[in-house]
Structure 1
Amino acid sequence: MDNDRAFMLSHTFLLKSVKPFGEGLWQPGASGAPWRSDAAEPTADDCVCSIAIFTEEPGTIDLDGTSVSLSKGSAIQLRSGGRFSVQSGSGSATGRLAGWLVEFFVFRFGDSRPIAGGFPLLPYHQEIAVHPFAALCSVVDRITRTADGYDDPTALRKQAALLELLALLMENQQRSHMLDNAAAAVKRAISYVRDHYTEPLTVEQLASIAGVGRWQFSELFRRLTGKRPLDYINTIRLNRAKELLLLTDDPLREIAQSVGFRDEYYFNRKFSRMFGCAPKSFARSGKTAASRQPLLPAAKQARVRSSLTGEPSRLVVCGGILGDVLSLGVKPLGAELAVMGRQVVYRDKLAGILDVGIGGDADTIAALQPDLVLLEKEGVAASHFQSAAAPVVSFRRTEDVTVRLRAIAALLGAEREADEWIARHEDAASSMWNRLRSRIGTGETATVLVQIGVQLFVMGNRGLAATLYHPRGFSSSEGAAKLAEGSERFREITAEQLPGYDGDRLFLLFSGDERSKREARQLTETSAWQSLHAFRSGNIHMTEAKWNYDDSLTRGQLLPVLPHILSSRI
């Protein structure tokens, strides 16, 4: 802070220009004229300080090939001499006014030439959100205001407005830095919750661990997780209870106490409110035949674990849970790859895994002499694999991915890897949605549709939809919500039924080849599509159906791609 004050006392500032954003590529200081002929001296480009301010709408700025999304009411300092282009919030460079480019020089007292390297008290290429927004609008209005004749008083007022703008940005940057430090402390408290959720926890205790005041702690906690602290704690406890209800036959009281609830009746009430049914009803309806029995005798489980240490392991996987197994760091000997192997996003991880055929050919699997067969099939009996002479454990497709991942991890001795993946994924998802906050309206709804040939399907709360429906992201449309309530993974619909699944956004998935992509685009040109609210709003997003697989590996790779899917509209 002392260095900042010393800099401000030893330098002065001169406004060069103020330009509105429009269509086309800007290059600050494009003249390229040097301040003097000596090549060692900085050029004009190097000496121009440039700040982009978004006052009218959010937008995207391309900085030498790197895309940065900025919210309305924010600013960013551009690197001297660099090239950049601006897109308006509508998603195209239409020339709409999104904001302003302010250019100025910095001089050291006593020097006649400006210094190079930009304004050192603000970071390069980092969004600065300005609060209150009215203060930013006021200073921008004064610095951009035109007057008849550019007399000395007008020039002086503009210079004063430039100084006020720099002070406003510095204040907000310093406040943001303080919030970043507080957010890091709150993240440590969130990690503490994950490790100690079975213990009594209070908001005061967690705020003390973070070293942040209670009010600020609760607000930052909500921003980072989408939930209030006690709601977040209860969600972790209830999700873990759901896993235990599926995987054990422990009494309800013991399950409640093991996840941190001291009152069985309170646990029952919270569980029913969150999942829509009582814990006992969930256990009765949710368990498969395999999960009602001990998964493996202890001795056999120990032998299986010890055999699954090589690459590839003596494990065979049938169905979409292959991505779960791979995310735990275990590579099976065989898997069902005939169709899935051509579609999944993790094809680079399939080398060395033998294809056991569609549905899992029993003889092929038996020849591999597996120690364990993991099955994700509905309507296929474990007896189908009897010739393999290996334990067969099956999982329902409708099981929650974290429940399934932990159950698989328990068999493979990879509980730590499962816990780490779940924690890492939750952090990455929250971080992604926080970055997208300016691009999604409060309460926006979404529906995921999949086109396969001439057939059209709507998804429930599975695949891509499971990532989209997030406390900081989208809510499910009314039609999609009804599917999820009825535990339907998907439903085939006709074009006439589309209005029943309309939402603020529609995500249309296609098979991935050019023909399927053309067919999907042709579908959106029909009158049924063009009558939809999402179509009229320009909120139809198209992407490949490979992102609709319901395993942990696909979900993890989806997060960095999702912002690009949201930026692509038809």
Structure 2
Amino acid sequence: MKNENGRINRSTWFYVLKDIQLRSEYIDWREDFVQGNEFTLLIVTAGSGKWVLDKTELTMRGGQSYLIAPGSTARLRSETEGMCFYHLTYELWRSEGDDPGQTAPVRSSQSSLRQGELLCRPFSQCIDYLESLYRHRHTCNELESFELAVCFQAFMLFLYRQNQNDSYTLNMRHAVELSIEHLKEHYANPWTVEQLAELANVARWHYTRIFKEITTQYPLDYLNGIRIDRAKHMLLASDDRLLDIAQFVGFNSEYYFNRRFKQTVGVSPGQYRRNHYRQENMRVFAPFLEDFLVALGITPVVQCSHSRWGKQDYLGLLHVPVIDIENEDIAVLSCHKPDCIIINIGFERWMSDDGLGRLAPTYQFPHPGEDWRLTLRKSAELLGRKDRVLDIISQYEHKASEAKRLLRQSVRTQTVACLRISALGISLYAGPDHGYTGPILYKDLGLTPHPLVLQLSRGARIASLTKEWLKLLDADHLFITFDKRHSSWEGEERSMLDWSEWQSLPAVQGGCVYEVDFLTWMNYGVISHGKKIEDVLRVLA
């Protein structure tokens, strides 16, 4: 809109980047950010931390952005794995377009961006902006300085478009939510993303972004998930042909229905139906996943063993035949005539997954073993035992919660580490997010990992300990297990305990080293995790 003199009648806002730093802070780093007249943006690229702002504590994680307004004080600290982040400071200025007498812009401390966490998606685009700004931060050339300023304006526009504090954004989200409810009722229609966006009266790009924020999935993936769930119900509730079921739930062809179903569920629709019809007598081979079968009340047709490790005795499968995966092959397995085979990532080093697939329908879990709840749910779905999952998880979580309460009273802040000892050396298991033991010891039971656990593993499941590192392992308690696989003579793995570096450890001298069963602890199964809890309580509570 213009006034009578032809001048543009509006305020112009612009942003001046004062500084940009790429910072990498280690474990337990702390800093107070006391704001003057500048705004601060923190964009976390890796690690995690906490910040306290206006007496409210927030968790900071990689892939997130945070704003601190002028006049505020924020207290930050990194957590177990340190934190890497971009640290930007900028000023907000305003010039009044309708005031000919005002030639100088005015700095403002008020912004429509709310203090706290900001949306910054896709995060890869956010990183592109930041890398460009950081790369040209020292430029003195007039043109490059101008390009830097334009890039920063574009970055702020990128943030503003996702963080508008008005009813427009709320209305868009509500419209997408209504379209999702409509989709649940009319899933059999031949939808496209454009049609869904039109239904919500939201631009396609915004629709997809908001849809994924709400559901964590893209629209057509979410739609196919609804169709597959409905198809699973129909497969068990009727004898309808696969083609009829496919068309009823919205798939144009039986071929595409079969392909999507197997991608999602792990077995074909026909196999899914057969599995549930004969679930009581199904012959299942699930090498080193027998824990989940037993938890679900299923006895495997054959159990896995290793010539050096033995078998999983803690499961009590005394009368179940054994196959040695190191010395016996698929021909031996075929004698047991399995109806279904379930494996995890990496099992192909023992037996070819192609060979297994020719022997019986084979499903491989694509997710990490640490997510044992998902493994349990998928196993139950494949084998028709979904009704047992909730009770199994609830019982475990109750057990872990009670143990955590007891350990909080007895152990307090004493540190713990778990070691795997073989003829090759001593290895240290990782922190709360990785490995067979970390999520149980440090997350479920709330025990405190020794600093070396976090320092050396850094996202890996296990880290080798040199003698120099071993000397620094002054943990209060050590859980150890022996791996016999690489031993060339009986008991070679235990010779590591004769090292002077081992003998001088505080836990060794204090009698706080606890040997645990190898296959019980080197397992992701829910029964295994329950046994770990029992072992810990036996010595620490």
TM-score when normalising by structure 1: 0.43
**Structure with the largest fraction of strand:** 2
TM-score when normalising by structure 2: 0.45
